[in-house]
Homo-oligomer: A and B are copies of this chain.
């Protein structure tokens, strides 16, 4: 929920077109869905040549906090988690990233990666050297403006996350997470109300600032009140309205209470 999203302007990406794009190493997923999409074809192909494809297996790291910043990455398929660690070694997952999301932009400032990124499953990534990006963007002023928008979006997303971490109770956090993730995956062509998590409960808990047990208990409770159906890593949203109520801190409706009794 926490990266540069919607680089792609056409959010109606069908899952098929996704697969197709990933299949070809030249025809990077970026082509249709990301930063450069609004630019002319000549520039586009110029930009595209720079992308280098890379495949990570589950658990492999794309980069680590502190690494030298030299590339921008775009997720093509699979999923990635990003996290920061404090001085004391405590780790906080800052976001989950799906196809079309861009990673590592904040490194531009310090020249260092400010967080770590790790594949949650087999994942393919498109890598661009930042130097090339800068060179190319000289002849494409629009490109930089696109990036402003992208970073602005990320900034506002992170602000919303503070609301989650700072003010919400456990129930609200989890409900919000489910709804956000559902929306996120839906915009990438997944089925309407069902989604499959690539992350563990532990990851979810960490992301939400909760204990694993709390997440587990709440999921069971959500299932018991027919808000969702859960089975292992796959989840189906059954009662979106009440899930939204919950996310906003309202009481579940009377109907719901009756049902759970």
Contact = CB atoms under 8 A, between A and B. Distances in A.
A110 interface: yes
A163 interface: yes
A180 to B, nearest CB: 13
Copies of this chain, tallied across the complex: 2
Given A106-B159, A155-B154, A248-B87, A148 B145 contact: no
> Which applies to chain A's interface (DSSP): helix, strand, loop or mixed?
helix
Contacts of A141: 138, 141
Interface string A102-115: 00011111100011
Interface of A: 84-88, 90-92, 94, 105-110, 114-115, 134, 138, 141, 144-145, 147-156, 158-163, 165-168, 206-209, 248-250
Given A114-B156, A166-B208, 19 more contacts: A84-B160, A88-B249, A90-B167, A90-B168, A90-B249, A106-B151, A106-B152, A106-B153, A106-B156, A106-B159, A108-B149, A109-B149, A110-B153, A114-B155, A154-B155, A158-B159, A162-B165, A165-B166, A166-B207
Given A147-B148, A166-B209, A115 B159 contact: yes
A4 to B, nearest CB: 9
Contact of A108 (B90, B94, B148): B148
Contacts of A152: 105-110, 114, 151
A158 B155 contact: yes
A108 B151 CA distance: 9
A90 B162 CA distance: 12
B156 A110 contact: yes
A167 B86 contact: yes
B248 A156 contact: no
